[in-house]
Amino acid sequence: MTQAFESGENMRLFAGAGQAQTDAASQSLTDSGSQPRDRVVILGRRGAGKTVYLARLYEALWQNREGLLARAMDGRAHQRFMELVAMMEAGQWPEATLAQSWSNLEIRYGARQWMLWALDYPGEVFRRAFVENAQDEAATALRTHVDKAAAVLVLVDPVTAARGGVEATVDAEFGLSAALRRVHTAAGSQEVPVALVLTKCDIALGHIREVGTARAFVDHHLPGLVRDGGDFRVFAASAVRSRPDALGQLRPATDKDPLGIVEPLQWCLKRLARGDGGDA
State the Cα–Cα distance between residues 142 and 83, nearest whole angstrom: 26
Beta-carbon neighbour count of residue 264 at 10 Å? 27
- Where do the structural domains in the chain lie, given as residue ranges? 12-24+36-274
- Count, in order, helices (H) and strands (E) of the chain: 12, 10
Task: Locate the DSSP E strands across 27-128.
Answer: 39-43, 69-72, 101-109, 112-120
Torsion of CA 160, 199, 266, 56, to 10 degrees: 130
Three-state DSSP state, 108: strand
Residues 6 or more apart whose Cβ sits within 8 Å of residue 213:
none
Ramachandran angles phi, psi of 211, nearest 5°: -115, -5
Global pTM?
0.81
- In this prediction, residue 117 carries a pLDDT of 64
Give the H/E segment covering residue 250: strand 250-253
State the Cα–Cα distance between residues 123 and 127, nearest whole angstrom: 7
**Burial status of residue 125 (CB atoms within 10 A of its CB: 0-12, 13-18, 19 or more):** buried
Pick the closest to residue 57 from 46, 48, 68 (CA basis): 68
**Per-residue pLDDT for the chain (280 aa), expressed as one digit of tens each?**
333 333 334 455 655 544 333 333 333 333 334 446 777 788 888 888 888 898 899 999 898 877 778 888 888 889 988 998 999 988 888 876 655 566 677 877 666 666 666 656 677 888 999 999 999 988 898 888 888 888 888 999 998 888 888 988 898 899 999 999 999 887 877 788 999 999 988 888 888 888 889 999 999 999 999 999 988 999 999 988 877 777 777 787 777 888 899 999 889 878 877 765 444 3
**CA angle (155 as vertex; 150, 157 as ends), nearest 5:** 170
- In this prediction, residue 3 carries a pLDDT of 36
Yes or no: say if 125 and 18 are a contact pair by the CB < 8 Å rule: yes
State the Cα–Cα distance between residues 166 and 178, nearest whole angstrom: 17
Q: Concatenated DSSP letters for 142-211?
A: HHHHHHTEEEEEEEE-HHHHHH--HHHHIIIIIIHHHHHHHHHHHHTTS---EEEEE--HHHHHHHHHHH
In the chain, the amino acid numbered 269 is: L
Ramachandran angles phi, psi of 234, nearest 5°: -100, 135
**For the domain bounded by 12-24+36-274, which CATH number is listed?**
3.40.50.300
State the Cα–Cα distance between residues 14 and 180, nearest whole angstrom: 15
